[in-house]
Copies of this chain bind each other. A is one copy, B any other.
């Protein structure tokens, strides 16, 4: 087994000029939630599994009692309308643990999608604000300067020098390494507090992404429902925190 190992499931799909959309775990799990939702609602099919020695040495346990070695997974979807394009999706359980593993995994992912003819990609992630946000914007960065104007039209926001720390992890690396290969790409980053999984931010990202890819009116109601559940949990956590802060304040007053 190489450091990264691709296991194809069934026949390799034949795709025509596909675009690549990536969403792996990260801040607020925004990218992963968005891509997993999209895979489900458009009915994309898994065609390959990615195993990596730099993932945790771990299996998950499925509801039926069987084990699943942690991995990343490729899905594909073929265009239904003239203005759409075939899509290769990537999502998964983990990003690689080390810097070197991140580079090797990203290179292998690019090898795979390049084989299917990918030349454009969208990578999805979260932009952690560290505070609550009512109406999360979607920031972006691109491989090419002429893409900036184009992407802006679809509702994504460009703020000079933001995020200040750049983009860390697969979403940035795929774009950066892809650019060296001549890929075009955009990274969409949904604003998120970053404390909890954030379906609201994932929804904001998908609104932009479905427009730019002509996927049309994709059903986002499940994300809204999940977002409300998370909001409820967040409120409860805040109340608990609030109570404990009050207590501390009392103590300070007394002390």
Contact = CB atoms under 8 A, between A and B. Distances in A.
A11 to B, nearest CB: 19
A179 B54 contact: no
A63 B161 contact: yes
A69 B179 contact: yes
A56 B141 contact: no
Contact of A176 (B67, B167, B169): B67
A61 B170 contact: no
A130 interface: no
Contact of A99 (B1, B57, B59, B60): B57
In the complex this chain forms, how many copies of it are found?
Answer: 4
A104 to B, nearest CB: 7
A69 B180 CA distance: 9
B67 A187 contact: yes
Contacts of A180: 7, 51, 69
A166 interface: yes
A56 to B, nearest CB: 6
Given A99-B97, A142-B66, A53 B104 contact: yes
A186 to B, nearest CB: 10
Interface of A: 1, 3, 7, 51, 53-61, 63-70, 97, 99-104, 106-107, 140-145, 148, 158, 160-163, 165-170, 172-173, 175-177, 179-180, 187
9 contacts: A51-B180, A57-B168, A58-B168, A65-B141, A66-B141, A66-B148, A67-B143, A70-B166, A100-B101
